[in-house]
Structure 1
Amino acid sequence: MGIVSQDALNQLQALIDQVEEPLQKTFQNVHQGYVPETLIRFLKAREWNASKAHKMLIESLNWRVQNEIDKILSKPIIPQDLYRGVRDSQLIGLSGYSREGLPVFAIGVGLSTFDKASVHYYVQSHIQINEYRDRVILPSASKKHGRPITTCVKVLDMTGLKLSALNQIKLLTIISSIDDLNYPEKTNTYYIVNAPYIFAGCWKVVKPLLQERTRKKVQVLQGCGRDELLKIMDYAALPHFCRKEGSGSSKHSGSGSENCYSLDHPFHQELYNYIKEQSRMNESKEPIKQGSFHVEFPEPATKEEADIAKTIESELHKFENSRENVDC
Protein backbone atom coordinates (compact mmCIF):
# COMPACT_ATOMS: atom_id res chain seq x y z
CA MET A 1 0.00 0.00 0.00
CA GLY A 2 3.05 2.24 -0.03
CA ILE A 3 3.67 4.87 2.63
CA VAL A 4 0.67 5.11 4.94
CA SER A 5 -0.02 7.85 7.46
CA GLN A 6 -1.18 5.76 10.41
CA ASP A 7 -2.42 8.82 12.30
CA ALA A 8 -4.63 9.89 9.37
CA LEU A 9 -5.88 6.32 8.98
CA ASN A 10 -6.75 6.08 12.68
CA GLN A 11 -8.55 9.43 12.55
CA LEU A 12 -10.62 8.43 9.54
CA GLN A 13 -11.40 5.02 11.05
CA ALA A 14 -12.67 6.68 14.23
CA LEU A 15 -14.89 9.03 12.22
CA ILE A 16 -16.33 6.24 10.08
CA ASP A 17 -17.02 4.07 13.12
CA GLN A 18 -19.56 6.72 14.18
CA VAL A 19 -21.54 6.41 10.96
CA GLU A 20 -24.97 4.82 11.37
CA GLU A 21 -27.33 2.99 9.03
CA PRO A 22 -28.01 3.09 6.15
CA LEU A 23 -24.51 4.41 5.44
CA GLN A 24 -22.81 1.55 7.29
CA LYS A 25 -24.67 -0.98 5.15
CA THR A 26 -23.67 0.59 1.85
CA PHE A 27 -20.10 1.01 3.18
CA GLN A 28 -19.93 -2.79 3.45
CA ASN A 29 -20.52 -3.02 -0.30
CA VAL A 30 -17.70 -0.53 -0.78
CA HIS A 31 -15.05 -2.12 1.42
CA GLN A 32 -15.92 -5.82 0.90
CA GLY A 33 -14.07 -6.70 4.10
CA TYR A 34 -11.01 -4.58 3.28
CA VAL A 35 -11.69 -1.53 5.45
CA PRO A 36 -8.14 -0.13 5.87
CA GLU A 37 -7.44 -0.42 2.14
CA THR A 38 -10.69 1.42 1.38
CA LEU A 39 -10.01 4.20 3.85
CA ILE A 40 -6.50 4.59 2.44
CA ARG A 41 -7.93 5.08 -1.07
CA PHE A 42 -10.04 8.00 0.12
CA LEU A 43 -7.13 9.41 2.12
CA LYS A 44 -4.89 9.31 -0.95
CA ALA A 45 -7.57 11.12 -2.94
CA ARG A 46 -7.57 13.92 -0.38
CA GLU A 47 -3.81 14.14 0.19
CA TRP A 48 -3.99 12.30 3.54
CA ASN A 49 -6.28 14.89 5.12
CA ALA A 50 -8.56 12.80 7.35
CA SER A 51 -11.24 15.49 7.62
CA LYS A 52 -11.46 15.98 3.84
CA ALA A 53 -11.34 12.22 3.23
CA HIS A 54 -14.18 11.74 5.73
CA LYS A 55 -16.28 14.38 3.95
CA MET A 56 -15.58 12.74 0.59
CA LEU A 57 -16.47 9.27 1.85
CA ILE A 58 -19.69 10.41 3.58
CA GLU A 59 -20.79 12.24 0.42
CA SER A 60 -20.06 9.12 -1.61
CA LEU A 61 -22.03 6.90 0.78
CA ASN A 62 -24.97 9.31 0.65
CA TRP A 63 -24.77 9.28 -3.16
CA ARG A 64 -24.94 5.48 -3.07
CA VAL A 65 -27.99 5.48 -0.81
CA GLN A 66 -29.83 8.25 -2.66
CA ASN A 67 -29.23 6.59 -6.05
CA GLU A 68 -29.72 3.00 -4.83
CA ILE A 69 -26.32 1.97 -6.13
CA ASP A 70 -26.42 -1.19 -3.99
CA LYS A 71 -29.28 -2.40 -6.22
CA ILE A 72 -27.73 -1.53 -9.57
CA LEU A 73 -26.44 -5.07 -10.17
CA SER A 74 -30.03 -6.28 -10.15
CA LYS A 75 -31.11 -3.77 -12.81
CA PRO A 76 -30.41 -5.27 -16.26
CA ILE A 77 -30.35 -3.13 -19.38
CA ILE A 78 -33.14 -4.67 -21.45
CA PRO A 79 -33.94 -5.84 -24.04
CA GLN A 80 -30.69 -7.65 -24.81
CA ASP A 81 -30.39 -5.95 -28.21
CA LEU A 82 -30.19 -2.60 -26.43
CA TYR A 83 -27.49 -3.92 -24.13
CA ARG A 84 -25.59 -5.28 -27.13
CA GLY A 85 -25.81 -1.83 -28.68
CA VAL A 86 -24.36 -0.31 -25.51
CA ARG A 87 -21.52 -2.85 -25.54
CA ASP A 88 -20.81 -2.20 -29.23
CA SER A 89 -20.52 1.54 -28.63
CA GLN A 90 -19.03 1.72 -25.12
CA LEU A 91 -15.92 -0.36 -25.58
CA ILE A 92 -14.67 -1.82 -22.33
CA GLY A 93 -13.80 -5.30 -21.17
CA LEU A 94 -11.70 -7.47 -18.89
CA SER A 95 -8.89 -9.07 -20.89
CA GLY A 96 -7.24 -10.95 -18.02
CA TYR A 97 -5.01 -10.39 -15.00
CA SER A 98 -1.51 -9.08 -14.44
CA ARG A 99 1.10 -11.37 -12.90
CA GLU A 100 0.42 -9.63 -9.58
CA GLY A 101 -3.24 -10.62 -9.87
CA LEU A 102 -4.64 -7.21 -10.83
CA PRO A 103 -7.57 -7.24 -13.28
CA VAL A 104 -6.65 -5.78 -16.69
CA PHE A 105 -9.42 -3.66 -18.15
CA ALA A 106 -9.23 -2.61 -21.80
CA ILE A 107 -10.98 0.60 -22.89
CA GLY A 108 -11.48 1.62 -26.50
CA VAL A 109 -11.31 5.38 -26.08
CA GLY A 110 -10.91 6.16 -29.76
CA LEU A 111 -13.60 3.89 -31.17
CA SER A 112 -16.30 4.27 -28.51
CA THR A 113 -19.16 6.17 -30.09
CA PHE A 114 -21.76 6.27 -27.28
CA ASP A 115 -24.46 6.64 -29.92
CA LYS A 116 -26.74 3.63 -29.37
CA ALA A 117 -28.54 4.72 -26.20
CA SER A 118 -29.17 7.65 -23.88
CA VAL A 119 -26.54 9.01 -21.52
CA HIS A 120 -28.31 7.32 -18.60
CA TYR A 121 -27.79 3.85 -20.09
CA TYR A 122 -24.05 4.45 -20.55
CA VAL A 123 -23.71 5.75 -16.99
CA GLN A 124 -25.70 2.74 -15.72
CA SER A 125 -23.46 0.36 -17.68
CA HIS A 126 -20.30 2.05 -16.39
CA ILE A 127 -21.38 1.90 -12.75
CA GLN A 128 -22.47 -1.73 -13.13
CA ILE A 129 -18.99 -2.65 -14.36
CA ASN A 130 -17.46 -0.70 -11.46
CA GLU A 131 -19.68 -2.46 -8.94
CA TYR A 132 -19.12 -5.89 -10.48
CA ARG A 133 -15.38 -5.25 -10.38
CA ASP A 134 -15.49 -4.19 -6.72
CA ARG A 135 -18.01 -6.71 -5.42
CA VAL A 136 -17.14 -9.79 -7.49
CA ILE A 137 -13.87 -9.59 -9.45
CA LEU A 138 -11.57 -7.98 -6.87
CA PRO A 139 -12.80 -10.07 -3.88
CA SER A 140 -12.37 -13.21 -5.99
CA ALA A 141 -8.83 -12.17 -6.98
CA SER A 142 -8.03 -11.37 -3.33
CA LYS A 143 -9.23 -14.79 -2.23
CA LYS A 144 -7.25 -16.52 -4.97
CA HIS A 145 -3.99 -14.75 -4.10
CA GLY A 146 -4.50 -14.70 -0.34
CA ARG A 147 -3.98 -10.94 -0.04
CA PRO A 148 -6.00 -7.77 -0.64
CA ILE A 149 -6.29 -6.88 -4.33
CA THR A 150 -8.26 -3.66 -4.49
CA THR A 151 -7.05 -1.98 -7.69
CA CYS A 152 -6.88 -2.75 -11.39
CA VAL A 153 -4.82 -1.93 -14.47
CA LYS A 154 -6.36 -0.09 -17.43
CA VAL A 155 -5.14 -0.19 -21.03
CA LEU A 156 -6.56 2.75 -22.97
CA ASP A 157 -6.59 2.23 -26.72
CA MET A 158 -6.55 5.49 -28.68
CA THR A 159 -6.99 3.90 -32.10
CA GLY A 160 -9.50 5.88 -34.15
CA LEU A 161 -9.42 8.98 -31.95
CA LYS A 162 -10.98 11.75 -34.03
CA LEU A 163 -12.28 15.25 -33.68
CA SER A 164 -15.73 13.76 -33.16
CA ALA A 165 -14.47 13.03 -29.63
CA LEU A 166 -15.66 16.57 -28.89
CA ASN A 167 -19.19 15.14 -28.81
CA GLN A 168 -18.21 12.70 -26.07
CA ILE A 169 -16.42 15.05 -23.68
CA LYS A 170 -19.56 15.82 -21.63
CA LEU A 171 -20.38 12.13 -21.09
CA LEU A 172 -16.76 11.22 -20.40
CA THR A 173 -16.54 14.06 -17.88
CA ILE A 174 -19.67 12.74 -16.11
CA ILE A 175 -18.20 9.22 -15.96
CA SER A 176 -14.83 10.56 -14.81
CA SER A 177 -16.48 12.61 -12.07
CA ILE A 178 -18.44 9.59 -10.83
CA ASP A 179 -15.20 7.61 -10.63
CA ASP A 180 -13.20 10.39 -8.97
CA LEU A 181 -15.84 11.06 -6.32
CA ASN A 182 -17.02 7.53 -5.59
CA TYR A 183 -14.36 5.07 -6.79
CA PRO A 184 -11.09 6.90 -6.06
CA GLU A 185 -7.71 5.28 -6.49
CA LYS A 186 -9.11 2.09 -8.03
CA THR A 187 -6.64 2.14 -10.92
CA ASN A 188 -3.02 1.26 -10.29
CA THR A 189 -1.69 2.24 -13.75
CA TYR A 190 -3.12 3.64 -16.98
CA TYR A 191 -1.34 2.38 -20.09
CA ILE A 192 -2.07 4.40 -23.23
CA VAL A 193 -1.50 2.60 -26.53
CA ASN A 194 -1.98 3.25 -30.25
CA ALA A 195 -1.83 7.00 -29.62
CA PRO A 196 -2.32 9.07 -32.81
CA TYR A 197 -0.95 12.54 -33.45
CA ILE A 198 -4.10 14.22 -32.13
CA PHE A 199 -3.63 12.54 -28.75
CA ALA A 200 0.01 13.58 -28.53
CA GLY A 201 -1.00 17.23 -28.90
CA CYS A 202 -3.66 17.00 -26.19
CA TRP A 203 -1.44 15.04 -23.80
CA LYS A 204 1.33 17.61 -24.04
CA VAL A 205 -0.90 20.33 -22.61
CA VAL A 206 -3.00 18.16 -20.26
CA LYS A 207 -0.10 16.40 -18.52
CA PRO A 208 1.12 19.50 -16.60
CA LEU A 209 -2.44 20.04 -15.29
CA LEU A 210 -2.57 16.64 -13.59
CA GLN A 211 -1.64 16.12 -9.97
CA GLU A 212 1.66 14.35 -9.49
CA ARG A 213 0.06 11.17 -8.12
CA THR A 214 -2.10 10.98 -11.26
CA ARG A 215 0.77 11.70 -13.66
CA LYS A 216 2.78 8.87 -12.13
CA LYS A 217 0.01 6.43 -12.98
CA VAL A 218 -0.07 7.26 -16.70
CA GLN A 219 2.33 5.57 -19.11
CA VAL A 220 2.16 6.31 -22.83
CA LEU A 221 3.56 3.27 -24.65
CA GLN A 222 4.91 3.02 -28.19
CA GLY A 223 2.62 1.46 -30.75
CA CYS A 224 0.30 -1.21 -29.39
CA GLY A 225 2.39 -1.50 -26.23
CA ARG A 226 2.74 -5.26 -26.50
CA ASP A 227 6.39 -5.57 -25.44
CA GLU A 228 6.01 -3.30 -22.41
CA LEU A 229 2.76 -4.92 -21.29
CA LEU A 230 4.28 -8.39 -21.54
CA LYS A 231 6.60 -7.33 -18.70
CA ILE A 232 3.64 -7.26 -16.30
CA MET A 233 1.20 -9.78 -17.81
CA ASP A 234 1.18 -12.97 -19.83
CA TYR A 235 0.27 -12.98 -23.52
CA ALA A 236 -3.17 -14.45 -22.78
CA ALA A 237 -4.03 -11.40 -20.65
CA LEU A 238 -3.16 -8.87 -23.38
CA PRO A 239 -6.14 -6.99 -24.82
CA HIS A 240 -6.81 -8.15 -28.38
CA PHE A 241 -5.60 -4.81 -29.81
CA CYS A 242 -2.18 -5.25 -28.19
CA ARG A 243 -1.42 -8.73 -29.49
CA LYS A 244 -0.10 -7.79 -32.90
CA GLU A 245 1.77 -4.64 -33.84
CA GLY A 246 -0.26 -2.61 -36.29
CA SER A 247 -3.41 -4.68 -35.79
CA GLY A 248 -5.35 -1.72 -34.48
CA SER A 249 -8.36 -1.98 -32.22
CA SER A 250 -11.22 -2.83 -34.51
CA LYS A 251 -14.27 -3.35 -32.35
CA HIS A 252 -14.95 -6.40 -34.52
CA SER A 253 -11.43 -7.82 -34.57
CA GLY A 254 -11.03 -11.39 -33.38
CA SER A 255 -13.73 -13.79 -32.27
CA GLY A 256 -16.10 -13.08 -29.41
CA SER A 257 -13.92 -15.06 -27.03
CA GLU A 258 -10.87 -12.97 -27.98
CA ASN A 259 -12.41 -9.52 -28.30
CA CYS A 260 -12.91 -8.41 -24.70
CA TYR A 261 -15.30 -5.64 -25.78
CA SER A 262 -17.80 -8.08 -27.24
CA LEU A 263 -20.95 -9.18 -25.44
CA ASP A 264 -19.90 -12.71 -26.47
CA HIS A 265 -16.65 -12.47 -24.47
CA PRO A 266 -16.69 -14.57 -21.25
CA PHE A 267 -16.38 -11.47 -19.05
CA HIS A 268 -19.49 -9.83 -20.49
CA GLN A 269 -21.38 -13.13 -20.53
CA GLU A 270 -20.60 -13.64 -16.84
CA LEU A 271 -21.50 -10.04 -16.01
CA TYR A 272 -24.77 -10.18 -17.96
CA ASN A 273 -25.75 -13.51 -16.42
CA TYR A 274 -24.86 -12.27 -12.94
CA ILE A 275 -27.11 -9.22 -13.33
CA LYS A 276 -29.94 -11.35 -14.70
CA GLU A 277 -29.64 -13.73 -11.74
CA GLN A 278 -29.60 -10.86 -9.24
CA SER A 279 -32.64 -9.45 -11.03
CA ARG A 280 -34.51 -12.76 -10.72
CA MET A 281 -33.73 -12.90 -7.01
CA ASN A 282 -35.05 -9.36 -6.60
CA GLU A 283 -38.02 -9.74 -8.94
CA SER A 284 -40.47 -10.78 -6.25
CA LYS A 285 -39.88 -7.46 -4.49
CA GLU A 286 -39.55 -5.21 -7.51
CA PRO A 287 -40.75 -6.34 -10.97
CA ILE A 288 -38.27 -5.69 -13.79
CA LYS A 289 -38.97 -2.44 -15.60
CA GLN A 290 -37.64 -1.52 -18.99
CA GLY A 291 -35.78 1.76 -18.96
CA SER A 292 -32.50 3.15 -17.75
CA PHE A 293 -31.43 3.31 -14.12
CA HIS A 294 -31.16 7.04 -13.47
CA VAL A 295 -28.22 8.20 -11.41
CA GLU A 296 -27.63 11.75 -10.27
CA PHE A 297 -24.82 13.22 -12.35
CA PRO A 298 -22.14 14.99 -10.30
CA GLU A 299 -20.46 18.20 -11.22
CA PRO A 300 -16.77 17.82 -12.16
CA ALA A 301 -15.03 16.45 -9.07
CA THR A 302 -12.42 19.17 -9.01
CA LYS A 303 -11.45 22.37 -10.77
CA GLU A 304 -8.56 20.32 -12.19
CA GLU A 305 -10.98 17.97 -13.93
CA ALA A 306 -13.06 20.83 -15.34
CA ASP A 307 -9.90 22.54 -16.61
CA ILE A 308 -8.71 19.33 -18.26
CA ALA A 309 -12.01 18.87 -20.10
CA LYS A 310 -11.88 22.49 -21.32
CA THR A 311 -8.24 22.09 -22.36
CA ILE A 312 -8.93 18.92 -24.35
CA GLU A 313 -11.85 20.60 -26.08
CA SER A 314 -9.72 23.64 -26.86
CA GLU A 315 -6.86 21.55 -28.25
CA LEU A 316 -9.20 19.52 -30.44
CA HIS A 317 -10.66 22.75 -31.83
CA LYS A 318 -7.14 24.04 -32.54
CA PHE A 319 -6.31 20.82 -34.32
CA GLU A 320 -9.52 21.04 -36.34
CA ASN A 321 -8.78 24.65 -37.33
CA SER A 322 -5.20 23.81 -38.32
CA ARG A 323 -6.48 21.02 -40.57
CA GLU A 324 -8.99 23.35 -42.20
CA ASN A 325 -6.22 25.87 -42.89
CA VAL A 326 -4.05 23.16 -44.43
CA ASP A 327 -6.94 21.99 -46.59
CA CYS A 328 -7.38 25.54 -47.87
Structure 2
Amino acid sequence: MAVVPQEAINRFGALMEGVDEPMKRTFKNHVYLLPFVHYPSDPFILQNIHQGYPHESLIRFLKAREGDVAKAYKMLCDCLKWRVENNIDGILAKPIVPVNLYRDIRDTQLIGLSGYSNEGLPVYAVGVGMSTLDRASVHYYIQSHIQMNEYRDRVVLPAATKKYGKLVSKCIKVLDMTGLKLSALNYIKLMTTISSIDDLNYPEKTLTYYIVNAPYIFSACWKVVKPLLHERTRRKINVLSGCGQDELLKVASLPCSFFLRRCH
Protein backbone atom coordinates (compact mmCIF):
# COMPACT_ATOMS: atom_id res chain seq x y z
CA MET A 1 0.00 0.00 0.00
CA ALA A 2 1.80 3.11 -1.25
CA VAL A 3 -0.33 5.97 0.10
CA VAL A 4 -2.42 6.02 3.28
CA PRO A 5 -5.45 8.36 3.10
CA GLN A 6 -5.41 11.23 5.57
CA GLU A 7 -8.93 10.33 6.65
CA ALA A 8 -7.74 6.87 7.72
CA ILE A 9 -4.91 8.40 9.76
CA ASN A 10 -7.36 10.75 11.49
CA ARG A 11 -9.75 7.91 12.34
CA PHE A 12 -6.89 5.80 13.65
CA GLY A 13 -5.69 8.67 15.84
CA ALA A 14 -9.20 9.12 17.24
CA LEU A 15 -9.44 5.44 18.14
CA MET A 16 -6.18 5.66 20.06
CA GLU A 17 -7.87 7.95 22.58
CA GLY A 18 -9.43 4.89 24.16
CA VAL A 19 -6.30 2.91 24.98
CA ASP A 20 -6.00 1.68 28.56
CA GLU A 21 -3.80 3.34 31.16
CA PRO A 22 -1.23 0.52 31.30
CA MET A 23 -0.63 1.06 27.60
CA LYS A 24 -0.56 4.83 28.00
CA ARG A 25 2.26 4.44 30.49
CA THR A 26 4.40 3.28 27.60
CA PHE A 27 3.62 6.57 25.90
CA LYS A 28 5.32 9.92 26.41
CA ASN A 29 4.59 13.58 25.86
CA HIS A 30 6.64 16.30 24.18
CA VAL A 31 6.17 14.77 20.75
CA TYR A 32 6.26 16.46 17.38
CA LEU A 33 2.60 16.65 16.40
CA LEU A 34 1.96 17.20 12.73
CA PRO A 35 -0.80 19.57 11.54
CA PHE A 36 -4.12 18.31 10.23
CA VAL A 37 -3.76 14.96 12.01
CA HIS A 38 -6.10 13.93 14.82
CA TYR A 39 -4.20 12.61 17.84
CA PRO A 40 -5.41 11.57 21.29
CA SER A 41 -6.43 14.52 23.46
CA ASP A 42 -4.20 13.07 26.16
CA PRO A 43 -0.76 13.94 24.71
CA PHE A 44 0.83 10.58 25.40
CA ILE A 45 2.23 8.81 22.38
CA LEU A 46 4.01 5.48 22.42
CA GLN A 47 7.50 6.12 23.75
CA ASN A 48 9.57 3.55 21.99
CA ILE A 49 7.57 3.01 18.83
CA HIS A 50 7.34 6.46 17.28
CA GLN A 51 10.39 8.34 18.64
CA GLY A 52 8.57 11.65 18.33
CA TYR A 53 6.81 10.91 15.03
CA PRO A 54 3.37 9.46 15.88
CA HIS A 55 2.10 10.25 12.38
CA GLU A 56 4.67 7.91 10.85
CA SER A 57 3.84 5.14 13.32
CA LEU A 58 0.13 5.27 12.53
CA ILE A 59 1.00 5.01 8.85
CA ARG A 60 3.25 1.98 9.46
CA PHE A 61 0.49 0.04 11.18
CA LEU A 62 -2.06 1.09 8.58
CA LYS A 63 0.21 -0.11 5.78
CA ALA A 64 0.70 -3.39 7.61
CA ARG A 65 -3.07 -3.90 7.49
CA GLU A 66 -3.64 -2.60 3.96
CA GLY A 67 -5.24 0.63 5.18
CA ASP A 68 -7.93 -1.08 7.26
CA VAL A 69 -8.30 1.21 10.29
CA ALA A 70 -10.01 -1.34 12.54
CA LYS A 71 -7.37 -3.98 11.83
CA ALA A 72 -4.53 -1.49 12.25
CA TYR A 73 -5.99 -0.34 15.57
CA LYS A 74 -6.21 -3.93 16.82
CA MET A 75 -2.67 -4.59 15.64
CA LEU A 76 -1.28 -1.56 17.46
CA CYS A 77 -3.25 -2.34 20.63
CA ASP A 78 -1.96 -5.92 20.57
CA CYS A 79 1.55 -4.54 20.12
CA LEU A 80 1.13 -2.21 23.11
CA LYS A 81 -0.20 -5.05 25.25
CA TRP A 82 2.77 -7.19 24.23
CA ARG A 83 5.14 -4.40 25.22
CA VAL A 84 3.45 -3.89 28.59
CA GLU A 85 3.17 -7.59 29.44
CA ASN A 86 6.80 -8.27 28.51
CA ASN A 87 8.24 -4.99 29.81
CA ILE A 88 9.75 -4.24 26.41
CA ASP A 89 10.35 -0.62 27.40
CA GLY A 90 12.81 -1.90 30.00
CA ILE A 91 14.45 -4.64 27.95
CA LEU A 92 17.62 -2.68 27.19
CA ALA A 93 18.22 -2.40 30.93
CA LYS A 94 18.08 -6.18 31.21
CA PRO A 95 21.45 -7.44 29.97
CA ILE A 96 22.02 -11.05 29.05
CA VAL A 97 24.27 -12.49 31.74
CA PRO A 98 26.75 -13.93 32.38
CA VAL A 99 28.94 -12.19 29.83
CA ASN A 100 30.10 -15.51 28.35
CA LEU A 101 26.50 -16.34 27.48
CA TYR A 102 26.08 -12.96 25.82
CA ARG A 103 29.24 -13.51 23.78
CA ASP A 104 28.08 -16.97 22.73
CA ILE A 105 24.80 -15.49 21.49
CA ARG A 106 26.51 -12.70 19.57
CA ASP A 107 28.93 -15.22 18.01
CA THR A 108 26.08 -17.39 16.77
CA GLN A 109 23.48 -14.72 15.91
CA LEU A 110 25.48 -12.59 13.50
CA ILE A 111 24.15 -9.11 12.78
CA GLY A 112 25.75 -5.70 12.73
CA LEU A 113 25.38 -2.16 11.45
CA SER A 114 27.59 -1.87 8.37
CA GLY A 115 26.84 1.54 6.87
CA TYR A 116 24.09 3.77 5.52
CA SER A 117 22.17 3.94 2.28
CA ASN A 118 22.28 6.95 0.00
CA GLU A 119 19.02 8.02 1.64
CA GLY A 120 20.44 7.72 5.15
CA LEU A 121 18.89 4.37 6.06
CA PRO A 122 21.03 2.15 8.31
CA VAL A 123 22.29 -0.95 6.51
CA TYR A 124 22.53 -4.09 8.62
CA ALA A 125 24.49 -7.15 7.56
CA VAL A 126 23.02 -10.42 8.79
CA GLY A 127 25.18 -13.53 8.59
CA VAL A 128 22.33 -15.96 8.04
CA GLY A 129 24.48 -18.79 6.72
CA MET A 130 27.03 -18.62 9.54
CA SER A 131 24.55 -18.07 12.38
CA THR A 132 24.22 -21.41 14.13
CA LEU A 133 21.86 -20.31 16.93
CA ASP A 134 23.02 -23.26 19.01
CA ARG A 135 24.71 -21.93 22.16
CA ALA A 136 21.74 -20.69 24.14
CA SER A 137 18.05 -21.33 24.67
CA VAL A 138 15.40 -19.99 22.32
CA HIS A 139 14.42 -17.50 25.04
CA TYR A 140 17.81 -15.79 24.98
CA TYR A 141 18.01 -15.59 21.20
CA ILE A 142 14.57 -13.97 21.11
CA GLN A 143 15.57 -11.56 23.88
CA SER A 144 18.72 -10.66 21.96
CA HIS A 145 16.75 -10.04 18.77
CA ILE A 146 14.23 -7.79 20.52
CA GLN A 147 17.05 -5.85 22.19
CA MET A 148 18.66 -5.24 18.80
CA ASN A 149 15.31 -4.04 17.44
CA GLU A 150 14.85 -1.68 20.37
CA TYR A 151 18.39 -0.33 20.10
CA ARG A 152 17.83 0.31 16.41
CA ASP A 153 14.57 2.16 17.06
CA ARG A 154 15.70 4.13 20.12
CA VAL A 155 19.31 4.90 19.20
CA VAL A 156 20.31 4.16 15.60
CA LEU A 157 17.28 5.54 13.76
CA PRO A 158 16.97 8.73 15.89
CA ALA A 159 20.71 9.33 15.38
CA ALA A 160 20.30 8.91 11.61
CA THR A 161 17.30 11.25 11.68
CA LYS A 162 19.41 13.90 13.39
CA LYS A 163 22.41 13.33 11.14
CA TYR A 164 20.52 13.53 7.86
CA GLY A 165 18.03 16.20 8.93
CA LYS A 166 14.97 14.17 7.99
CA LEU A 167 12.94 11.32 9.42
CA VAL A 168 14.73 8.00 9.06
CA SER A 169 12.39 5.26 10.25
CA LYS A 170 13.46 2.22 8.24
CA CYS A 171 16.57 0.17 7.64
CA ILE A 172 17.97 -2.09 4.94
CA LYS A 173 19.14 -5.63 5.65
CA VAL A 174 21.71 -7.59 3.68
CA LEU A 175 21.25 -11.30 4.34
CA ASP A 176 24.51 -13.11 3.67
CA MET A 177 23.94 -16.80 2.93
CA THR A 178 27.62 -17.74 2.95
CA GLY A 179 27.98 -21.10 4.69
CA LEU A 180 24.28 -21.93 4.53
CA LYS A 181 23.52 -25.59 5.19
CA LEU A 182 20.35 -27.63 5.20
CA SER A 183 20.85 -28.02 8.95
CA ALA A 184 19.72 -24.39 9.25
CA LEU A 185 16.19 -25.72 8.87
CA ASN A 186 16.58 -27.23 12.35
CA TYR A 187 16.02 -23.72 13.67
CA ILE A 188 13.02 -22.94 11.51
CA LYS A 189 10.74 -22.63 14.55
CA LEU A 190 13.00 -20.01 16.14
CA MET A 191 13.35 -18.09 12.87
CA THR A 192 9.58 -18.19 12.38
CA THR A 193 9.02 -16.84 15.90
CA ILE A 194 11.46 -13.99 15.31
CA SER A 195 9.84 -13.18 11.96
CA SER A 196 6.41 -13.13 13.63
CA ILE A 197 7.64 -10.75 16.34
CA ASP A 198 8.92 -8.37 13.68
CA ASP A 199 5.75 -8.58 11.57
CA LEU A 200 3.40 -7.94 14.48
CA ASN A 201 5.36 -5.47 16.60
CA TYR A 202 7.86 -3.76 14.30
CA PRO A 203 5.94 -3.49 11.01
CA GLU A 204 7.39 -1.62 8.06
CA LYS A 205 10.77 -1.14 9.73
CA THR A 206 12.76 -2.75 6.91
CA LEU A 207 12.62 -1.23 3.45
CA THR A 208 14.40 -4.03 1.57
CA TYR A 209 16.04 -7.37 2.25
CA TYR A 210 18.96 -8.11 -0.07
CA ILE A 211 20.06 -11.74 -0.22
CA VAL A 212 23.68 -12.27 -1.25
CA ASN A 213 26.00 -15.26 -1.69
CA ALA A 214 23.11 -17.68 -2.06
CA PRO A 215 24.52 -21.23 -2.47
CA TYR A 216 22.86 -23.95 -4.50
CA ILE A 217 20.97 -25.26 -1.46
CA PHE A 218 19.37 -21.85 -0.91
CA SER A 219 16.49 -22.72 -3.24
CA ALA A 220 15.68 -25.80 -1.15
CA CYS A 221 15.70 -23.80 2.08
CA TRP A 222 13.72 -20.99 0.47
CA LYS A 223 10.92 -23.37 -0.49
CA VAL A 224 10.47 -24.18 3.20
CA VAL A 225 10.87 -20.64 4.55
CA LYS A 226 8.95 -18.64 1.94
CA PRO A 227 5.43 -19.87 2.86
CA LEU A 228 6.09 -18.92 6.50
CA LEU A 229 6.76 -15.27 5.68
CA HIS A 230 4.09 -12.62 5.42
CA GLU A 231 3.34 -11.56 1.86
CA ARG A 232 4.43 -7.97 2.49
CA THR A 233 7.79 -9.30 3.72
CA ARG A 234 8.23 -11.52 0.67
CA ARG A 235 7.65 -8.52 -1.60
CA LYS A 236 10.65 -6.76 -0.05
CA ILE A 237 13.14 -9.57 -0.72
CA ASN A 238 15.62 -9.10 -3.55
CA VAL A 239 18.06 -11.92 -4.37
CA LEU A 240 21.28 -10.51 -5.83
CA SER A 241 23.88 -12.25 -7.94
CA GLY A 242 26.99 -13.31 -6.05
CA CYS A 243 27.96 -10.91 -3.28
CA GLY A 244 25.83 -8.18 -4.84
CA GLN A 245 28.63 -5.62 -4.78
CA ASP A 246 27.59 -3.66 -7.88
CA GLU A 247 23.93 -3.49 -6.87
CA LEU A 248 24.60 -2.62 -3.23
CA LEU A 249 27.03 0.17 -4.09
CA LYS A 250 24.27 1.81 -6.11
CA VAL A 251 22.11 2.20 -3.02
CA ALA A 252 24.52 2.42 -0.09
CA SER A 253 27.89 3.60 1.14
CA LEU A 254 29.60 0.54 2.55
CA PRO A 255 33.21 0.07 3.65
CA CYS A 256 35.64 -2.04 1.63
CA SER A 257 35.78 -4.52 4.50
CA PHE A 258 32.09 -5.26 3.95
CA PHE A 259 32.83 -6.66 0.50
CA LEU A 260 36.22 -8.16 1.33
CA ARG A 261 34.48 -10.54 3.71
CA ARG A 262 31.73 -11.42 1.25
CA CYS A 263 33.15 -11.23 -2.27
CA HIS A 264 35.58 -13.94 -3.32
TM-score (norm 1): 0.70
Residue 191 of structure 1 aligns to a residue in which SS?
Answer: strand
Q: Which residue of 2 aligns with 1:9?
A: 9
- Most deviating of 196-205 and 63-72: 196-205
Matched to 2:236, the amino acid is K
Residue 250 of structure 2 aligns to a residue in which SS?
Answer: coil
Q: Which residue of 2 aligns with 1:127?
A: 146
Q: Which residue of 2 aligns with 1:173?
A: 192
Residue 162 of structure 2 aligns to a residue in which SS?
Answer: helix
1:78 matched to 2:97? The reply is yes
Q: Which residue of 2 aligns with 1:100?
A: 119
Larger % of strand: which?
2
Cα 1:12–1:239, aligned 2, differ >3 Å: closer, same or farther? farther
CA deviations 1:171-216 (Å, max 9, x no partner) are 1011111111101110000000000111124446866886664343
Alignment of 1:237-252 (within 5 A): 240=258, 242-243=259-260, 246-247=263-264
Q: What CA distance in whole angstroms lies between the structure 2 residues aligned with 1:183 and 1:235?
A: 25
Matched to 1:134, the amino acid is D
Q: Is the 8 A contact 2:118 2:253 kept in 1?
A: yes
Q: What CA distance in whole angstroms lies between the structure 2 residues aligned with 1:208 and 1:82?
A: 33
Q: Is the 8 A contact 1:226 1:243 kept in 2?
A: no
Q: What CA distance in whole angstroms lies between the structure 1 residues aligned with 2:142 and 2:18?
A: 31
Q: Which residue of 1 aligns with 2:72?
A: 53
Q: What CA distance in whole angstroms lies between the structure 1 residues aligned with 2:190 and 2:226?
A: 21
Which structure carries more relative contact order (alpha carbon 8 Å, separation 6+)?
A: 1
Cα 1:117–1:154, aligned 2, differ >3 Å: closer, same or farther? same
Cα 1:176–1:213, aligned 2, differ >3 Å: closer, same or farther? closer
Q: Which residue of 1 aligns with 2:58?
A: 39
Q: What CA distance in whole angstroms lies between the structure 1 residues aligned with 2:261 and 2:221?
A: 26
Alignment of 1:151-166 (within 5 A): 151-166=170-185
Q: Which residue of 1 aligns with 2:81?
A: 62
Q: What CA distance in whole angstroms lies between the structure 2 residues aligned with 1:207 and 1:165?
A: 14
Identity score, percent: 66
Q: What CA distance in whole angstroms lies between the structure 2 residues aligned with 1:83 and 1:124?
A: 11
Q: What CA distance in whole angstroms lies between the structure 1 residues aligned with 2:88 and 2:217?
A: 36
Larger radius of gyration: 1
Q: What CA distance in whole angstroms lies between the structure 2 residues aligned with 1:212 and 1:82?
A: 35
1:87 matched to 2:106? The reply is yes
Matched to 2:160, the amino acid is A
Aligned residues: 245
Q: Which residue of 2 aligns with 1:110?
A: 129
Residue 9 of structure 1 aligns to a residue in which SS?
Answer: helix
